[in-house]
Amino acid sequence: MSGLDRRAFVAGCGSLVATASLVQAEKKPPRFARATDGDDRFEPNWNERLTLTVGQKTGDLRGSSDKVIQAAVDYVARLGGGTVKILPGQYTFRNSVHLRSGMRIVGSGADTILTKGPSERVPLVADSDWYDQEITLSKKTRFRVGDGIVLQGKNPHNGSQTVIKRTLIAKSGNRYKLDKGLRKNLWLTGKPTCASLFPLLTSERTQNVIIENLALDGNRKNNENFNGNYGGCIFLQDCRRYQIRKVIARNYNGDGISFQICHDVHVVDCHSHDNADLGVHPGSGSQRPKILHCKIERNTIGLFWCWGVKFGLAEKNHISKNRNYGISIGHNDTDNVMRNNDVYDSGKVGILFRNDTRGKDFWANRNLIENNRIINSGPAKGIAIDVQGKTRDVKIIGNVLRENRAPMKRVAIRISKLAKGIELKNNKMAGFSQQVVKG
């Protein structure tokens, strides 16, 4: 090696060492971190931040609607984050509360109830184009400026369903201005409508938020159904690092807790019950969700892993009396762990691996089902664990599968003839007409 080559080699090694040190330093906060303008990577751990209380008779801000809570949220967000503490009482919403990054919203447990009034739906009576920022309703309604609404109709170009969530910000007669333009066509040929449907707590593209000690009640009997891809007691879209703790999500005509393309969302010690659709809905593309120590009861489906949910953990949950499935997992939901859960009294199947024929390999592969207790699943032909389609490389280990009712035609584990690499090990099965059925 020439002198020049040696010098270049030594210089290159020095550069690699410096680069490695820099990478290591970026992984942990510096010892003497300081607040620096525009830099939130290693924010110091301050002992105190702003706490703003909201109450009906006492508190920094007083009222009983979404507006007073939203005002508190916006105030702490303006000062860089903090806590909104909601005192006991029932707060009735006409719009969602939109959460901001770096905040904590906390109630007083079951005594802090966030709910909504009855929904109303009316047709539109004038065409609105994708660039418009207004709609015209068919008649005088109960809608007010400030209300949260959803616009729905048939897409005039391809027949698909159009769903647009907006807020009414001004009006003249039956004409209302929207907070944002439409970006889709709402033509009368698609029979568009306006309805007072919205999630109670919601956010888009925010991060580092805690929701804690609240009771969310969707007033199900007085509201239409609202799809869990758009609504729920809690609905999040494109968010990161949320902690949802000790929250009651109940009676929503839709989902209890739903989050779509959200990463590192932890749902802990929550109770999602008596919702029309899904109890907890880790939605499309969500990475590393954790559902821990929750009670998920009397929904249509308890825990629903949506599309492409990966590296998640569901552990030590009580999932019972859900009308169809205790747990449902399917389209490209891979590398998840379901461990130490109690799945009781499911209406059809305890744990369902859905069949998905729309792609070459869209099944729920490489998942682990371990040390769960799956008891009394389905009707006379019910199944405790049903592995459908071309699902592969799933481990079902150390579970207790039991029927305390008559065996009838009930099956402990059914495995599709197209499934591959399904490992069964140390499972205890009792009370079924058949334990393992393949084909």
Task: Give the residue-averaged pLDDT of 315-326.
Answer: 98
Kindly state whether residues 113 and 125 are assigned to the same domain.
no
Kindly state whether residues 146 and 208 are assigned to the same domain.
no
Kindly state whether residues 275 and 406 are assigned to the same domain.
yes
Distance CA 292, CA 403 (A): 25
Task: Give the residue-averaged pLDDT of 172-192.
Answer: 96
Residue 66 in domain? yes
Residue 318 has what pLDDT?
A: 98
Residue 26 in domain? no
Burial 307-321 (b: 16+ CB within 10 A, else e): bbbbebebbebbbbb
Residues contacting 310, CB < 8 A, separation 6+: 287, 288, 333, 334, 335, 336
Token readout for 115 is 């709910």
CATH of the domain at 134: 2.40.30
Distance CA 11, CA 14 (A): 5
Residue 373 has what pLDDT?
A: 98
Kindly state whether residues 277 and 291 are assigned to the same domain.
yes
pLDDT tens for each residue of 96-120: 999 999 999 999 999 999 999 999 9
- Whose CA is closest to 208, among 52, 306, 77, 24? 77
Distance CA 67, CA 58 (A): 16
Task: Give the residue-averaged pLDDT of 375-394.
Answer: 98
> Residue 389 has what DSSP assignment?
T
Q: How far is CA 2 from the centre of its chain?
A: 62
Task: Give the residue-averaged pLDDT of 113-141.
Answer: 95
How distant, in Å, are the alpha carbons of 19, 86, 432 from that of 80?
33, 19, 58
Q: In the predicted model, is pLDDT for residue 31 greater than 80?
A: no
Residue 355 has what pLDDT?
A: 97
Residue 37 has what pLDDT?
A: 85
Rounded to the nearest 10°, the torsion over CA 272, 399, 421, 284 is 10
Residue 2 in domain? no
For residues 66 and 93, the answer to whether their CB atoms sit within 8 Å is: yes
pLDDT tens for each residue of 281-290: 999 999 999 9
Q: Give the residue numbers spanning the domain of 287.
A: 53-117+198-438
Kindly state whether residues 278 and 339 are assigned to the same domain.
yes
Residue 32 has what pLDDT?
A: 78
**How many folded domains does the chain comprise?**
2
Among 137, 170, 195, identify where a domain stops: 195
Residue 190 in domain? yes
Distance CA 412, CA 375 (A): 10
Residue 39 has what pLDDT?
A: 84
pLDDT tens for each residue of 344-378: 999 999 999 999 888 889 999 999 999 999 999 99
Residue 12 in domain? no
Residue 31 in domain? no
Residue 185 has what pLDDT?
A: 96
Task: Give the residue-averaged pLDDT of 273-280.
Answer: 98
Q: Which residue has the higher pLDDT, 57 or 1?
A: 57
Q: How far is CA 267 from the centre of its chain?
A: 9
Residue 385 has what pLDDT?
A: 98
Q: If you count them, how many residues does the chain have?
A: 439
Residue 5 has what pLDDT?
A: 57
Distance CA 385, CA 413 (A): 5
Kindly state whether residues 188 and 307 are assigned to the same domain.
no
Task: Give the residue-averaged pLDDT of 157-186.
Answer: 96
Kindly state whether residues 131 and 245 are assigned to the same domain.
no
Token readout for 422 is 């399904």
Kindly state whether residues 298 and 363 are assigned to the same domain.
yes
Distance CA 331, CA 308 (A): 6
Q: What is the largest CA-CA distance in the chain?
A: 89
Token readout for 181 is 């333009």
For residues 233 and 199, the answer to whether their CB atoms sit within 8 Å is: yes
Kindly state whether residues 324 and 251 are assigned to the same domain.
yes
Residue 346 in domain? yes
How distant, in Å, are the alpha carbons of 152, 176, 230, 427 from that of 139?
17, 12, 26, 62
For residues 258 and 281, the answer to whether their CB atoms sit within 8 Å is: yes
Kindly state whether residues 131 and 247 are assigned to the same domain.
no
Kindly state whether residues 281 and 411 are assigned to the same domain.
yes
Kindly state whether residues 313 and 232 are assigned to the same domain.
yes
Residue 133 in domain? yes
Residues contacting 114, CB < 8 A, separation 6+: 69, 86, 91, 93, 97, 107, 200, 201, 214, 215, 216, 217
Q: Any idea which of 14-28, 119-133, 151-165, 194-208 has the lowest mean pLDDT?
A: 14-28
Among 150, 165, 195, identify where a domain stops: 195
Q: In the predicted model, is pLDDT for residue 4 greater than 90?
A: no
First and final C-alpha spacing in the chain:
66
Among 172, 195, 218, identify where a domain stops: 195
| Residue type at position 49 | R
Share the mean pLDDT of the chain.
93
CATH of the domain at 234: 2.160.20.10
Distance CA 420, CA 353 (A): 13
Q: In the predicted model, is pLDDT for residue 24 greater than 80?
A: no
